[in-house]
A and B are shown apart, each in its own frame.
Chain A
């Protein structure tokens, strides 16, 4: 295992440190709360010479990703970061980058969407773009943020994947919280992450036309290859996690991470930083003898359906806690979980907990209440439950 430095930094700063270690050729970004610190730290690093990159201060998020695409197709390693309105502003480019098989790494600070305006955390921004062809990982803490920026390049640039990756951090909760983070040495990261090599690029020695039009005769095949690459990325994600563990001593278990789930009767499925609070709750309830556990979905693309079912099929009831709702139906993660169970002959009872919208706190008591609701689940009652809904003010 290699040496490293321990620093006390915020999630945003951990991302910037990870980016510096990954040595991107080109960074293009546009500021938006709560991602701004990433943009600022990277600017500092360029100014003090510790990050050698072409840093483009672009005039919009559409341009940020568009510039990354222009650089990526020449074989450059690229980075951008955004959040919320900015993510939606670049929506067209998200599909473009994945369709063009450009292995861009982007940090997204999960934040609510206007209207009403709100700068605080939920996950409706990235979840609304699950279909954009990007890999999506949701990290739990600043350490995982740094690690997944570095791993993100290894995964995205893998020839079997060649797909951009979005590294999601809960806005403020993670981006602005300070933690002790292990920062690997540049040499050890260089060994783990060699420079980006590809023949799928615009090349003066071997000229190409890229980003073309495909007619109905070929379009499906391009999309199928992309679909396959995302499915195949599951294996690459696991291998990368293992390689990272042997290089740096930290493993996250691949697509999902479970906690006390093996013998649990009640399992809560989580996404992102709330898992930290939920773990404390599980410890408390376990001390009282209650068989509860957690499964954290690290990746939503590719979706770990098989892993999720294997980890939860024995439970009596499963709750899906998400900071999101697809209005007019249910939580998007909930839909995914149900779809994973649909191939099974028997499945646990499922409840959807919609919580934390627009930054509303999710307390330990809220999570205890979720387990209580799972314990007494009645198949005829409402499955989609808004946590702490203040009906009196509506």
Chain B
């Protein structure tokens, strides 16, 4: 395993400077925490690309521009492709020690921008792509995206119809299937893990992808001061997971022995309040199914359980 999780990036290593400051995000916005922390890890020699979506809508309203380092809005579908161009220009112009980082919502990543992301990974362009996943199109008023989870209420999957019937694409596995240089999942509820992963991504010669769960109080129907706790609970109850992919190996960073109860996690969020006991059972069943897969690909666990089984045949 070449993933170095021992070299932690501590709070003291974070830049004192603010690179995303004075923006208009709602109180408790998980996405803005993800952007702020990542930029503190990456530092001032960074070119940031943000597509249409909440982070650009709250950060770039002329003349109130909230990024203190270089930043630009891309088209909704064009995060990765614009980053590819930035990265190519960094090389062509001989700019040293600079990062090209993107912060795209779940819709910008898993739906309209998945083609450009796939192309960038295929070319191994040196970019850091961070998907802040608030599980819906928030900027346009909370519509369902390809990453809206089963049962969640959005304005296009109303509670009266049972919420979202789709089960949420697994972007981590999708990018891993490209043979990407580095991919990780994270949660703003596990800050140390997230900043370690951003720190890891900055060292990668090729494409890195970090998928960070980032609660949205406005869209999820939660209180602003609950965001970090909810982001943590999502991992603890097994609806989200912390993992890495590098050199064709998967690794689980957190292996829950048992899951925290689902119901309190779901019911504290307005978007799940309509769920019945049997809906919650269904969600639990899909979660367990997912974890059977996760445990299969987690190579560490693999070695523990089936000594000689090669990854591919597991």
Contact = CB atoms under 8 A, between A and B. Distances in A.
Interface in B96-133: 98, 115-116, 118-119, 122-123, 125
Contact of A59 (B72, B98, B122): B122
B203 to A, nearest CB: 19
Contacts of A66: 74-75, 77-78, 81-82, 85, 116
A66 B86 CA distance: 10
A64 to B, nearest CB: 8
Contact of A202 (B44, B70, B74): B70
A293 B113 CA distance: 51
Contacts of B87: 70
A202 B72 contact: yes
Interface string A200-228: 00111001111111110010000000000
B178 interface: no
A67 B84 contact: yes
Contact of B92 (A26, A60, A203, A208): A26
Nearest to B68: A207
B95 interface: yes
B44 to A, nearest CB: 7
A211 B57 contact: no
Interface stretch (A71-79, A255-263, A297-305): A71-79
Contacts of B62: 212-215, 218
B188 interface: no
Contacts, number: 153
Size category of the binding interface on chain B: 35 or more
A25 B123 contact: no
B65 to A, nearest CB: 4
B47 A59 contact: no
A71 B73 contact: no
Contact of A63 (B45, B71, B81, B89): B81
Contact of A60 (B61, B65, B88, B119): B119
Contact of A211 (B68, B74, B88, B93): B74
Interface of B: 44-45, 47, 49, 56-57, 59-63, 65-75, 77-78, 80-93, 95, 98, 115-116, 118-119, 122-123, 125
11 contacts: A26-B92, A63-B119, A70-B88, A76-B88, A76-B93, A92-B77, A202-B72, A209-B59, A209-B65, A211-B72, A214-B62
Given A59-B115, A209-B72, 4 more contacts: A28-B88, A58-B119, A69-B78, A204-B98
